[in-house]
Amino acid sequence: MSIADEHEREFVFTTKHFSKVRDELYDYAGIVLADHKIDMAYNRLVRRLRELRLDGFDSYFQYLDANPSEFTQFINALTTNLTAFFREKHHFDFINEHILPEIAASGQRKLRAWSAGCSLGEEPYSLAMTILDSSVNTASWDIRLLATDIDSKVLGSAQAGIYANERVNSMSKALVQKWFLKGRNGNEGHIKIRNELQSLITFNYLNLMEEWPMKGPLDFIFCRNVMIYFDQETQAGLLQRMAGLLKPGGYLFVGHSEALARHASSFELVGKTIYRKVDTH
């Protein structure tokens, strides 16, 4: 941060203020904010100060400490929610080409999967489309997808399943026509996911740092572009817990920049950022 930047700010934001933000975020969500994220933290929180008509960060932190509901807003403001339909398409191809045929061949007619850190919902909806559109006949399967996030605001949007038209620009017209309804009567410019897809997915609030209520076994887990915000120790703990939830031979998908080699003793790498749970007995 340059001196000039500091003077351009509407409110004073000292390194002490930044430390408070960092500590709260790390203690609750496991998210590590590097030094250079100071501007980002300021820009995301300053909106709350304006909305609450507060005169500075000291007042904001007093408000935060006195109002538990503000903590939700604080977390929502600081999470990064970048996502897209069929992001890293090779993961969806792998499900279609390997996982679904494998399940079908085993005689299993049930599929359980988890999108951990689902953000605005594009990821679980892309999974649902992949499963229903598969060349494997999944029509009669018992399919349940769990989609969770720590950010209550994105979860609300994910559950509503309404997106601006531009969000599906990279998808084929046929796919969009099949799985989305066009907005009418004031909702022009937006599309809505069809109920058939929504009914496969349960959206729930879940902080990965806390206890997980689900039992498993799961066929696969998507935890993509989430662990990138955590430190090595947190990542190692999460990987172990995810291995515990997967069925033997179940799969874990991570983001393009997440190399888990160092902690992945329960997993073998079977594709680009695709891991398979190995039998450790």
Ligand X SMILES: C[S@@+](CC[C@H](N)C(=O)[O-])C[C@H]1O[C@@H](n2cnc3c(N)ncnc32)[C@H](O)[C@@H]1O
Please report, as ranges, the residues that interact with ligand X according to CB under 6 A: 29-31, 79-83, 87, 117, 119, 123, 149-151, 154, 206-209, 224-226, 229, 255
Side by side, the strands of the sheet bearing 180-182 are 162-164, 190-193, 180-182
Among this protein's residues, is 22 annotated catalytic? no
Q: How far is the CB of 228 from ligand X (least distance, A)?
A: 8
DSSP 72: H
Please identify, using beta-carbon distances, which residue of 2 and 257 lies nearer to ligand X: 257
User: Strands 110-116, 218-223: parallel, antiparallel or unpaired by DSSP?
Assistant: parallel
Q: 240: closest CA among 206, 273, 202, 208?
A: 208
Among this protein's residues, is 149 annotated catalytic? yes
Helix (H/G/I), strand (E/B), else coil: 268: strand
Please identify, using beta-carbon distances, which residue of 23 and 142 lies nearer to ligand X: 23
Please identify, using beta-carbon distances, which residue of 110 and 241 lies nearer to ligand X: 241
Percent of the chain that is helix, strand, coil (3-state, to 5):
45, 20, 35
List all residues 6 or more positions away from 23 whose beta carbon is below 8 Å from its beta carbon: none
List all residues 6 or more positions away from 82 whose beta carbon is below 8 Å from its beta carbon: 119, 225
- Element (DSSP H or E) covering residue 247: strand 246-254
Please identify, using beta-carbon distances, which residue of 171 and 209 lies nearer to ligand X: 209
Among all chains, which residue has been given the structure tokens 């904001």? 60
Among all chains, which residue has been given the structure tokens 């977390």? 75
Q: How far is the CB of 16 from ligand X (least distance, A)?
A: 24
Q: How far is the CB of 26 from ligand X (least distance, A)?
A: 10
Cβ atoms 131, 95 nearer than 8 A = yes
Q: How far is the CB of 108 from ligand X (least distance, A)?
A: 26
Please identify, using beta-carbon distances, which residue of 141 and 148 lies nearer to ligand X: 148
Q: How far is the CB of 216 from ligand X (least distance, A)?
A: 18
Task: Find the catalytic residue in 44, 144, 167, 194.
Answer: 44
Please identify, using beta-carbon distances, which residue of 48 and 58 lies nearer to ligand X: 48
E strands present in 95-227: 110-116, 142-149, 162-164, 180-182, 190-193, 201-205, 218-223
Task: Give the separation between CA 216 and CA 89, rounded to whole angstroms.
Answer: 26
Q: How far is the CB of 249 from ligand X (least distance, A)?
A: 23
Task: Find the catalytic residue in 87, 112, 149, 151.
Answer: 149
Q: Which structure tokens are listed for 149? A: 């996030």
Question: Catalytic amino acids?
Answer: 44, 149
